Structure 1
Amino acid sequence: MRIPPAVRAALFALLAAIVCLFAFEADADPMVPGPFTLKQTDGATVDGAELDGKPYGVMFGFTHCPDICPTALAELSTALAAAPDLRKDFRVYFVSVDPERDTPQALGAYVGAFDPRVVGLTGAPEDIATATQAFGAVARKVPTKSGGYTMDHTAALYLVDANGIIVDRVSFKEPADVMAKRIAAAAR
């Protein structure tokens, strides 16, 4: 039996939501991101192991996202501006899940429209897959009727503390003031 693409996409989204829900239960063991290495839009390498000792955030998205990613980045920018006593070196890494279209130049221009603490990361498809798995996120290419494609992906802000532990996963449905408090708490 062949499952229609729309049903497959809905099942994938449901599975991703269930995985994320169970990954962040209150009684769950702390989650440490796995190793990853990606490139900033200026060509500098970001190695997850070198981030130990510094709190940071990670989100996954793509520049061709029609609504969720730009709205999330706008809310995130407002939250970063409002976060009390946030360290000047705090960064949120926007990991592109669409390296085919998100060149370093395109990604740099995209994240450049938001808070300067948002840093675009990209890499080879296998490096992005490794980073996605390192955070327990999901991403996959979905064909569209027009012959193009879009990307289904986990839409959340992962907050990593100075001990290298994912201490919070913030939905972009949260108001900016709530997000600001959660970012500040994780960055302490």
Structure 2
Amino acid sequence: MWCDQSNTRTFVDAPAFEAGFELTDHRGMVRSQDDFAGRWMLVFFGFTYCPDVCPTPLSDISAWLEDFGPEAEGMNVIFITVDPERDTVEAMADYVSYFHPSVRGWTGPGDEIARAADGFRVRYEKIPTDSGDYTMNHTASVFLFDETGRLSGPIDYHEPREFAVPKIRQALEIPSEEPV
């Protein structure tokens, strides 16, 4: 359910983001929820070995950021792995290099990933495959948070660009320049 408070759309009963975690970004810098303070966030959980689901939202986010141009500079765009066994700092650096330069990849120990996922209310699980390997099931939405850490809304996997970009513009209170 949505409500309008001070011209900013937020979810009713959506608590501010809060989770005590420390992860490492794709450049080797330690990150925590403090890195979100005062900035809008687009957050997506996934993993680098994902064959088709994860690259799609990250490609979508890259295209959305291109639409915003310099206005995208004030936004944190974070890709947090749900597969810390394989997604090292180096693997994350390589993977995010294929997307918009604003996309940051975060990894860390399994317990810290779990804390972050719990804070974002993301679910994930390791699924063994017939080949003896594994894959990861996970929440596949992009989460849009305002500068106070409150959820402004999800952007669903495969949500059409003509809906996603105006949703972000409205949340960020950026006037629409032209139809998408």
1:83-126 deviations in Å (ceiling 9; x for gaps):
37624131210000001011111111111100111100001000
Are the aligned partners of 2:16 and 2:148 in contact in 1 as well (CA < 8 Å)?
no
Are the aligned partners of 2:65 and 2:72 in contact in 1 as well (CA < 8 Å)?
no
Specify the alignment match of 2:13 in structure 1.
29
Counterpart AA for 1:180? V
Match of 2:143 among 142, 155, 158: 158
Q: How does 1:135-146 map to 2 (within 5 A)?
A: 135-146=120-131
Higher strand share: 2
Equivalent pairs counted in the alignment come to 164
CA RMSD, Structure 1 to Structure 2 (Å)? 1.7
Higher helix share: 1
Where 2:56 maps in the other structure, the secondary structure is helix
Specify the alignment match of 2:97 in structure 1.
112
Q: TM (normalized to structure 2)?
A: 0.84
1:49 maps onto 2:37 in alignment: no
Structure 1: runs of 5+ lacking an equivalent? 1-24
Among the aligned pairs, what percent are the same residue? Answer: 36
1:31-84 deviations in Å (ceiling 9; x for gaps):
322223211011112211342211111110000101010111111111111137
Match of 2:51 among 47, 66, 83: 66
Give the distance between the partners of 1:92 and 1:187, measured in 2 at CA.
14
Q: How does 1:88-127 map to 2 (within 5 A)?
A: 88-127=73-112
Counterpart AA for 2:106? L
Where 1:115 maps in the other structure, the secondary structure is coil
Runs in 1 of length 4+ with deviation above 3 angstroms? 25-28
Counterpart AA for 1:123? G
Give the distance between the partners of 2:125 and 2:170, measured in 1 at CA.
31
Give the distance between the partners of 2:123 and 2:172, measured in 1 at CA.
24
Specify the alignment match of 1:172 in structure 2.
157
Counterpart AA for 1:67? D
Are the aligned partners of 1:93 and 1:118 in contact in 2 as well (CA < 8 Å)?
yes
Are the aligned partners of 1:80 and 1:180 in contact in 2 as well (CA < 8 Å)?
no
Q: TM (normalized to structure 1)?
A: 0.81
